[in-house]
């Protein structure tokens, strides 16, 4: 990898130089995940939560032809104000955007890849993409799953987004050799809800267990990522029947309008916010904060153990 394409913030450069714990954060959640100014407030709060837990935040984006690892407040505000005018960027789009200096908000797959270039082992997000409902005919499967299969980064999330087929998503991850952990739970969280009808592969009860697993996978030469599912806190968890009804209605309206591809997830999430009277947005923000906290604790534990090969 040619370092001419990478630009670190001062804080992240210092953290790398002194071997401090770092947590990667994505930028699609800023530009496409929620409206302005909630998106910027949430992004800055996420960074502060990571700092308060003893790690260094590294929000990732593509700006002016550079892979930016660590953003300034002004850059985060730019992404938030521009919103969906910023291109949603997956791994597929990285080289094109860099070449043509197209600003890009990185998805889970792109953030994982760029984080791995910097040796960052832990990444916090809201929910991952996965196998979409009806994928047996549409073949609509998120690039996030392939990235998890090939990039050694631990992704802390509240499960796959509830708009997806959770059962097929788990099957896909199993096929690709990705361990799915449940933090203090045996059940797969369903983003807005604490649990689902599906079980995780392994339960873990302390951040140090996850840090140790990251190190052990590296020592064994296993190159897949690790999916750490962290349930939304009880007081913000939404009843499954309420959120499922909103999802079903949103999907019907989306299909009626012919919306497909990269526009699917932003449309559905926005429609669900509307149908739940804003409750899903509040839940989304809180689960992201919860994931940032856990990711920072894992990064701190990993740094304390030492990165032994």
- 37-96 pLDDT, tens digit each: 999 999 999 999 999 999 999 999 999 999 999 999 999 999 999 999 999 999 999 999
Give the model's pLDDT for residue 157.
98
**Confidence at residue 308, expressed as pLDDT on a 0 to 100 scale:** 58
DSSP E strands in the chain: the ranges are 6-8, 22-25, 56-63, 66-69, 87-89, 104-106, 122-124, 154-157, 180-183, 202-204, 226-229
CB 213 within 8 A of CB 226: yes
The contacts of residue 305 (CB under 8 Å, 6+ apart) are 208, 211, 212, 215
- Is 26 catalytic? The answer is yes
The CA distance from 104 to 63, in Å, is 7
Straight-line distance from the first to the last Cα atom of the chain, in angstroms, rounded to the nearest whole number: 21
b/e map 86-102, b = 16+ CB within 10 Å: bbbbbbebbeebbeeeb
Q: Nearest Cα to 230, choosing from 253, 205, 250, 208? A: 205
Q: What pLDDT is stored for residue 265 in this prediction?
A: 73
Give the pLDDT confidence of 233-283 residue by residue, as tens digits: 999 998 888 888 888 898 889 889 988 776 777 788 788 888 888 888 889
pLDDT attached to residue 116? 97
The candidate with the shortest Cα–Cα distance to 181, out of 245, 243, 231, is 231
- Is 161 catalytic? The answer is yes
What does the H/E/C string look like for 226-268? EEEECCCCHHHCCCHHHHHHHHHHHHHHHHHHCCCHHHHHHHH
Q: Smallest Cα–Cα separation from 57: which of 104, 102, 21?
A: 21
Q: Which of 68, 88, 161, 271 is catalytic?
A: 161
Give φ, ψ of 125 to 5 degrees: -145, -175
Which of 26, 75, 147, 297 is an active site residue? 26
pLDDT at 133 over 80: no
Q: What is the pLDDT of residue 95?
A: 97
Ordered by where they begin, the domains of the chain are 3-305 (3.40.1790.10)
| DSSP 3-state of 202 | strand
Measure Cα distances from 247 to 104, 111, 161, 273, 287 in Å.
Answer: 28, 26, 11, 10, 18
Binned at pLDDT 50, 70 and 90, residue 1 comes out as low
In tens, the pLDDT along 101-128 reads 999 999 999 999 999 999 999 999 999 9
CA distance 156 to 291: 6
Label residue 309 by pLDDT band (50, 70, 90).
low
Average pLDDT over residues 203-212: 98
Prediction pTM value: 0.92
Q: What is the pLDDT of residue 307?
A: 61
Q: What is the pLDDT of residue 59?
A: 98
Is the pLDDT reported for residue 34 higher than 90? Answer: no
| Cβ-contact 57, 125 below 8 angstroms | no
Average pLDDT over residues 119-141: 86
Q: Which whole number is the average pLDDT over 207-213? A: 98
Question: Across-strand partners of 8?
Answer: 69
Mean pLDDT of the chain: 93
Q: Using the predicted structure, report yes or no on whether residue 137 has a pLDDT greater than 80.
A: no
User: Where do we find the tokens 């797969």?
Assistant: 188
Structure tokens at 95: 């080289």
């Amino acid at each position: 990898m040619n370092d001419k394409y990478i630009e670190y913030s001062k804080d992240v450069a210092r953290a790398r130089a002194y071997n401090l714990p770092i947590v990667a954060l994505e930028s699609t959640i800023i530009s496409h995940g929620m409206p302005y100014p909630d998106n910027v407030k949430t992004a800055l709060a996420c960074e502060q939560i990571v700092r308060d837990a003893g790690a260094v935040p590294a929000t990732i984006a593509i700006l002016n032809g550079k892979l930016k690892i660590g953003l300034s407040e002004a850059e985060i505000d730019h992404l938030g104000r521009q919103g969906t005018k910023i291109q949603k960027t997956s791994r597929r789009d990285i080289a094109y955007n860099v070449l043509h200096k197209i600003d890009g908000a990185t998805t889970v797959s792109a953030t994982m890849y760029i984080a791995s270039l910097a040796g960052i082992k832990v990444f916090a997000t809201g929910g991952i993409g996965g196998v979409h409902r009806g994928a047996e005919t549409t073949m609509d499967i998120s690039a996030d799953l392939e990235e998890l299969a090939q990039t050694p980064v631990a992704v802390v999330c509240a499960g796959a987004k509830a708009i997806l087929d959770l059962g097929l998503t788990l099957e896909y991850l199993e096929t690709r050799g990705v361990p799915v952990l449940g933090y203090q739970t045996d059940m797969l969280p369903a983003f807005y809800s604490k649990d689902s009808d599906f079980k995780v592969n392994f339960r873990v009860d302390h951040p140090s267990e996850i840090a140790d697993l990251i190190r052990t996978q590296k020592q064994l030469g296993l190159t897949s990522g690790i999916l750490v599912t962290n349930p939304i806190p009880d007081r913000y968890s939404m009843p499954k029947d309420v959120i499922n009804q909103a999802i079903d209605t949103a999907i019907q309206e989306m299909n009626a309008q012919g919306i497909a591809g990269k526009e699917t997830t932003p449309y559905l999430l926005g429609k669900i916010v509307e149908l739940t009277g804003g409750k899903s947005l509040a839940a989304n923000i809180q689960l992201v904060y919860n994931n940032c906290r856990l990711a920072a604790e894992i990064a701190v534990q990993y740094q304390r153990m030492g990165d032994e090969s």
